[in-house]
């Protein structure tokens, strides 16, 4: 995401936090990826006032910007976590956190920019403690369908990097041993008063493969754009059990209990 679409990130983050209202979770350490200065941090701080917050921030957001934003959100454990650029994770494919180190992974509008979200889920499983929760949102493949409905050749478009719909992600969660996955989806329709505003948002959403100035010359943009927003969460349970291989589950001999009279 980029600054022009920051309002969308804040809106979706608020909706994600509302969905967590029914979830009971003792959160001592949380990971926000990607993190950004926004109004949602106030709600996050109220919900988890004593949590250590680990962040992977978007490009262009400095460590000082994040600290200042969290300070204004009255985060008492401001300096207990750590802040790293999201680019570090994207380059290495790993979170710079130890195994079993967080209780919550909160990911807002990231998975659509990953070529294989399965690797992200694997990292979430690694860093989550037993009983921890991963919650996420991302843009589904029907995002920007009005642009693709235009006459072929009028615009140079590109698909989101990840084409996975909510069923694909749900299956991947189960495949990575997460328990009780819950998936949800909604369509958000944006109406525009000018082509320029729509082009700016489409570029920020990484739907265009041509400069905005060239898009505006065509003069063929629709007056609205649909966003497919997918939500999901799942639990990290049974982490001590070995992963099944070829439909055969292996467990350590020390996990076998002996029944006594």
pLDDT for 76 equals 58
Q: Distance from CA of residue 54 to its chain's centroid?
A: 14
Q: How confident is the model at residue 256 (pLDDT cuts 50, 70, 90)?
A: very low
- If you search the block for the tokens 């996420």, which residue do you land on? 136
pLDDT of 16 higher than 80: yes
Q: What is the DSSP code (8-state) at residue 140?
A: -
pLDDT of 80 higher than 70: no
Strands, sheet with 128-139, edge to edge from the N-terminal-most edge strand: 83-85, 52-57, 29-35, 102-108, 128-139, 224-236, 179-191
pLDDT of 173 higher than 80: yes
Residues 6+ apart with CB under 8 A from 53: 30, 32, 70, 75, 77, 78, 80, 81
pLDDT for 74 equals 67
Q: In 3D, which of 205, 129, 124 has the Cα closest to residue 169?
A: 124
Q: What is the DSSP code (8-state) at residue 52?
A: E
Q: Which residue ranges make up each domain of the chain?
A: 3-143+160-193+225-255
Residue 234 host element (H or E): strand 224-236
Given a contact cutoff of 8 angstroms between Cβ atoms, the answer to whether 111 and 162 are in contact is yes
Which residues are registered as beta bridge partners of 55?
32, 83
Q: In 3D, which of 63, 126, 61, 138 has the Cα closest to residue 93?
A: 126
- Tell me the HSE value of 229 on the side-chain side, using a 13 A CA sphere: 19
Per-residue pLDDT reduced to its tens digit, 205-245 = 988 877 777 777 767 788 899 999 999 999 999 988 766 55
Q: Give the integer Cα–Cα distance in Å for 210 and 19.
A: 37
Q: Which two tokens stand for residue 187?
A: 């369509």
Per-residue pLDDT reduced to its tens digit, 114-172 = 989 999 999 999 999 999 999 999 999 999 999 888 877 677 777 788 889 999 999 99
Q: Max alpha carbon distance in the chain (Å)?
A: 83
Q: In 3D, which of 94, 98, 67, 71 has the Cα closest to residue 83?
A: 67
Q: Which two tokens stand for residue 73?
A: 């959100």
User: Which is the CATH superfamily of the domain at 3-143+160-193+225-255?
Assistant: Vaccinia Virus protein VP39 (3.40.50.150)
pLDDT of 250 higher than 70: no
Interstrand relation of 52-57 and 83-85 (parallel, antiparallel or unpaired): parallel
The larger pLDDT score, comparing residue 88 to residue 159, is at 88
Number of C-beta neighbours around residue 244 at 10 A: 10
The Cα-based distances of 154 to 46, 149, 150, 212, 261 in angstroms read 48, 10, 7, 13, 78
């Amino acid at each position: 995401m980029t600054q022009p679409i920051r309002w969308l990130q804040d809106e979706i983050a608020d909706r994600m936090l509302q969905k967590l209202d029914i979830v009971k979770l003792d959160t001592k350490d949380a990971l926000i990826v990607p993190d950004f200065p926004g109004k949602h941090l106030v709600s996050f701080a109220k919900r988890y006032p004593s949590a250590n917050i680990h962040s992977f921030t978007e490009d262009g957001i400095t460590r000082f910007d994040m600290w200042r934003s969290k300070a204004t959100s009255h985060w008492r454990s401001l300096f207990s976590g750590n802040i790293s650029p999201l680019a570090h994770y994207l380059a290495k494919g790993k979170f710079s956190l130890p195994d079993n180190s967080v209780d919550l992974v909160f990911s807002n509008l990231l998975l659509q920019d990953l070529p294989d979200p399965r690797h992200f889920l694997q990292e979430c499983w690694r860093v989550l403690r037993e009983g921890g929760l991963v919650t996420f949102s991302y843009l589904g493949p029907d995002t920007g369908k009005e642009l693709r409905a235009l006459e072929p050749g009028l615009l140079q478009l590109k698909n989101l990097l990840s084409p996975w719909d909510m069923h694909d992600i749900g299956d991947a969660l189960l495949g990575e041993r997460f328990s009780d996955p819950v998936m949800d989806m909604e369509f958000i329709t944006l109406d525009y008063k000018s082509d320029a505003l729509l082009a700016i948002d489409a570029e920020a959403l990484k739907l265009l493969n041509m400069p905005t100035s060239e898009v505006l010359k065509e003069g063929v943009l629709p007056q609205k754009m649909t966003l497919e927003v997918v939500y999901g969460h799942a639990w990290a349970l049974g982490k001590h059990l070995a992963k099944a291989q070829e439909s055969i589950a292996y467990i350590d001999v020390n996990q076998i209990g002996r029944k006594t009279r």
